[in-house]
Amino acid sequence: MSFDRLISKIISMKNPTVAGLDPKLDYVPMFLRQCFLDEDGETLKAAAKAIFRYNQMLIDALCDIVPAVKLQAAYYEMYGHPGMKTMERTIRYAKLRGMYVITDGKRNDIGATMEAYAAAHLGTCMIGSSECEPFGADALTVNGYLGSDGINPLLSICRERDKGIFVLCKTSNPSSGEFQDLLIDGVPLYARMGDKCEEWGADTVGNYGYSGVGAVVGATYPEQLSELRARLPHTMFLVPGYGAQGGGAAGIAGGFDKNGLGAIVNSSRAILCAYKKEGCDERDFAGAARREALRMREDLTSYISIG
């Protein structure tokens, strides 16, 4: 259990980017959307099938230059159980194409219930004497508000199956400070959460110096990103908020260590909807996504040097 598999991919592709697959049906180009709606009507099933095909084509266009995808669970749940089937199929397809898969579910609960989430997203589930893998991602984002009872149940599955978690610390949104910046004996809550990440991951530090317990730290707070990089030397960062939310590559650089490691930066809409911004033929949506991903790699690596 560590992020070694992810970090190896980042090094070999010289790209600390994760592509966020947060697919609203509106993002799916009409030519693709329509053929599924024609087949199955205006149903959740049709939407889910269209989104799977969209994801598949994006993965094909990105898998040799982007090391990882992050699936935002909300955009799959929104399409009901057919949407969850698309989530499962997308995860399997991305793994088949060699990508590292993060499910962004921000799950949280305690004890046996948290074990159920771990089984669902990172592990397996016994049905009689058969071992079934429900979703099978490589890593899961989680919310630590419930304390160690919510994190420990994940760790044994992570250890057994070499999986990882990212715990929300300092999120990218404007109101993240309402709770996360509150000072407890002079230390903000997000830093306390970060300290716990170091503790939870302590005995899982891998070859690159990072444990299997990472933290979510927003690109929109570059100062806190640098501060946490120094404070949490063994904690890998998942960094949302690049681009659309206003986080720039210069500020993000502070989230990396001296080897250009220790963070992976997410971009969702800018990649998914690059064809809209480019104004190219929508049939070239995957090509536009690839061009945006290359532009982003260029942008990030102009501030850091990897490996």
Interactions with a second copy, residue window 37-56 (CB under 8 A)? 37, 41-44, 46-47
Q: Strand, helix or coil at 213?
A: strand
Contact call for residue 237 and a second copy (CB under 8 A): no
Nearest-approach distance from CB 204 to a second copy, in angstroms: 19
Q: What is the spatial distance between Cα 290 and Cα 17, in angstroms, rounded to a whole number?
A: 12
Smallest separation, CB 304 to a second copy (Å): 26
**Residues numbered 66-105 forming contacts with a second copy, rule: CB under 8 A:** 72, 74-75, 77-85, 87-88
109: number of Cβ within 10 Å: 17
Say whether residue 174 binds a second copy (CB under 8 A): yes
138 binds a second copy (CB under 8 A): no
d(CA 107, CA 150): 9
Beta strands in 139-191 (DSSP E): 139-142, 164-170, 183-184, 187-188
Side-chain-side CA neighbours of residue 136 (13 Å): 16
The verdict on whether 106 is a catalytic residue reads yes
Residue numbers 2-31 binding a second copy by CB under 8 A:
22, 24-25
Angle at 162 between CA 65 and CA 196, to 5 degrees: 100
Q: Please report, as residue ranges, which positions from 109 to 128 form the binding site for a second copy (by CB under 8 A).
A: 109-111, 113-114, 116-117, 119-121, 125, 127-128
Residue 230 CB, nearest distance to a second copy (Å)?
A: 22
Using CA atoms, how far apart are residues 147 and 193, in angstroms rounded to an integer?
Answer: 9
The reply to whether 250 sits near a second copy by the rule CB under 8 A is no
The token duo for 103 is 């499910």
Shortest Cβ distance from residue 217 to a second copy (Å)?
A: 13
Which of the following is catalytic: 14, 85, 95, 106?
106
Q: Which is nearer to a second copy, 79 or 242 (CB)?
A: 79
C-beta of residue 65 within 8 angstroms of C-beta of residue 99? no
Size of the site for a second copy (CB under 8 A): 71
Question: First-to-last CA distance in the chain?
Answer: 21
User: Looking at beta carbons only, is 196 or 290 nearer to a second copy?
Assistant: 196
- Give, in degrees to the nearest 5, the angle at Cα 157 between 98 and 134: 60
Q: 3-class DSSP state for residue 48?
A: helix
Show the site string, 182-221: x = touches a second copy by CB under 8 A, - = not: xxx----x--xx--x-------------------------
The residues annotated as belonging to the active site are: 106
